[in-house]
Structure 1
Amino acid sequence: MLSRFARMPATMPDNHSDPFDLEAYLARVGHDGPAVADLATLRAIHIGHVGTIPFENLDIQMGLPIRLEPDAILAKLVRRRRGGYCFEQNSLLSMALTAIGFDVTRRVARVRMGGDPGGRSHLMLLVTIAGQAYVCDVGFGGSCLAEPLPLIAGEYDSAGDRWRLRTSDWSPGWELEVWRDGCWFGLYWFGQEEVVEYDLIFGNHYTSTHPASRFVQNRVAARTTLTERHTLLNGLYRRRLRGELVEEMQITDEATFRHILVERFMIDLPEGAVLKPIEGIAP
């Protein structure tokens, strides 16, 4: 008999989806300004997206597949007001920006998290405006960008953190880093290779189904604004204000876990949702 939480296959993008509902997306992220392809609009939408659509992997923790069809992403993240992880989040942002008229390029990055580059498992975006490319990423969890960064080597202050973009000495491409504990901490590497749909399918399949994936092993949620970062890893909740840790809580029961999801991450799971048990969180 199959387990209630048997790993389900990640699904394939569908090229026969309905037209993108830009109006519903803009309402979801709270953008009531102009929808034009300029830097001010890009920044406003990026900030609105990360502040209102939480990063989370709870479908995986419920034994559900991560679907990448455009209609499925729109239904989950916009109409049902859930969150998602990078393949969902940055696909949604890409569809919205493309509908507005932005020049959007997808890249599949190699995650570092302070170590050597791993497999291509993270979807991020480059958006070009008047010849200048900007790094846009609404799907990197607790280390997510709050706003776009110009693709120019240098250091940038944003959302209480210091960031650095530099050309890579590992392989031709770029490194995104954040200043952490007195040194530069590598987040991910990305290059210039074109992305095809199967890159997303392969990456999504690994991150959502492989036993070694942190998203299979853990419950994860995050939400970012220009001033605050909320993160949740299993039972550990943290809130940072302008880069400083101001609140930390160890959650020990399921009721409190669900309360924190709603109150801090705006995630209201469907009635009857059952998450895979996690050590340290009582039913």
Structure 2
Amino acid sequence: MKADNFHLDTYLSRIDYEGETANDLATLTKLMQKQLRSIPFENTLVQAGRIPSMVPEDIVDKILYRRRGGYCYEVNGIFSMALTAIGFEWYFAGARPMTYPTRRPKTHMVLIVRVEGREYLSDTGFGGYALRAPMEIVEGEVVQEGDRFRLERVEGEYVLSALVQDVWQRLYGFASVPQEWIEFSLANYFNATHPDTIFTQKKLAIMQTPRGRKILVDNELKLIEEGVLEKSEVDYARALKEHFGLELLSV
């Protein structure tokens, strides 16, 4: 995916990336980790009653120039632009969130990147206890900076799970089937407007740190460092500014 106003140098500065880039796993890993620690997963636009734009130039303006975050289509969208600029081969795929009590449609969007003949799940847009680095799409478990993840085949698809407080939690299921950007337009509308989605129900802001993550859900802030959880009740607007650098949007 491309946008006329996307410039790789601006993106690299936005995520505090230093050094050379190349079409290899080391660069892909560094890019993903830097973005996860710089661009928050957040839904302030949805909470303000607006539908996030799927126009690539609007996403660039929002994330790079207005320095906000976004949810999966936006943050994975900007990530895909950087991958294209560097020369990676990648594609979008639809994923079925498994964090709801009932079966859901495939409204989540993931990125799959091909490096040296292998495919890696490289998702910067799930929030919560999400991947911290690219994960090769093969069955098995990996540990990423202390967090444990598992891929397994279930009914012809891959299912990604995370070990959270010693319990395996399924995050989402996906198939390695390329989808076009435009195919996620309805999913974007659904997530931004349907009363049963977490994005309309909860105020969210999530960002990873080198040793953990910060999770703000309404007035509850979770700070996780090396597996140690600190939970507190906070003023949402103040925590949003202090921990994520974001101002509330007016409704």
TM-score, with length taken from structure 2: 0.94
Partner of 1:7: none
Aligned position for 1:259: 238
- DSSP-derived class of the 1:174 partner: strand
| Aligned-partner SS, 1:237 | strand
The alpha carbon displacement at 1:182 in A equals: 3.2
2:217 aligned residue:
233
Match of 2:233 in 1: 250
Amino acid at match of 2:17: H
Q: Distance in 1 between matches of 2:126 and 2:11?
A: 20
Question: Counterpart amino acid of 2:172?
Answer: Y
- Residue 60 of structure 1 aligns with which residue? 46
Q: Aligned pair in 2 of structure 1 residues 33, 90: CA closer, same or farther (>3 Å)?
A: same
- 1:137 CA displacement: 0.9
Q: How does 1:181-192 map to 2 (within 5 A)?
A: 181-192=165-176
Matched, 1:200 2:184: yes
Give the match for residue 125 of structure 1: 111
Regions of 4+ moved over 3 Å: 114-117
CA shift, 1:181, in A, is: 3.8
Separation (CA, whole Å) in 2 of partners of 1:150 and 1:266: 32
SS in structure 2 of the partner of residue 141 of structure 1: coil
Give the Cα–Cα distance (whole angstroms) in 2 for the partners of residues 144 and 182 of structure 1. 15
Deviation at 1:114, TM superposition (A): 6.9
Q: Which residue of 1 aligns with 2:157?
A: 173
Structure 1 residues 85 and 260, CA gap change in structure 2 (3 angstroms): same
Contact 2:2 2:81 in 1 (8 A): no
Aligned to 1:151: 137
Identity within the alignment, %: 33
Q: 2:124 aligns with which of 138, 147, 162?
A: 138
Contact 2:5/2:60, CA 8 A, preserved across alignment = no
* Structure having the higher Rg: 1
Alpha-carbon distance between aligned partners in 2 of 1:68 and 1:182, rounded to the nearest angstrom: 37
The residue identity in structure 2 corresponding to 1:234 is: D
Q: 1:102 aligns with which of 76, 88, 93?
A: 88
TM-score, normalising length: structure 1: 0.84
Displacement after TM superposition at 1:176 (Å) = 0.4
Contact 2:92 2:181 in 1 (8 A): no
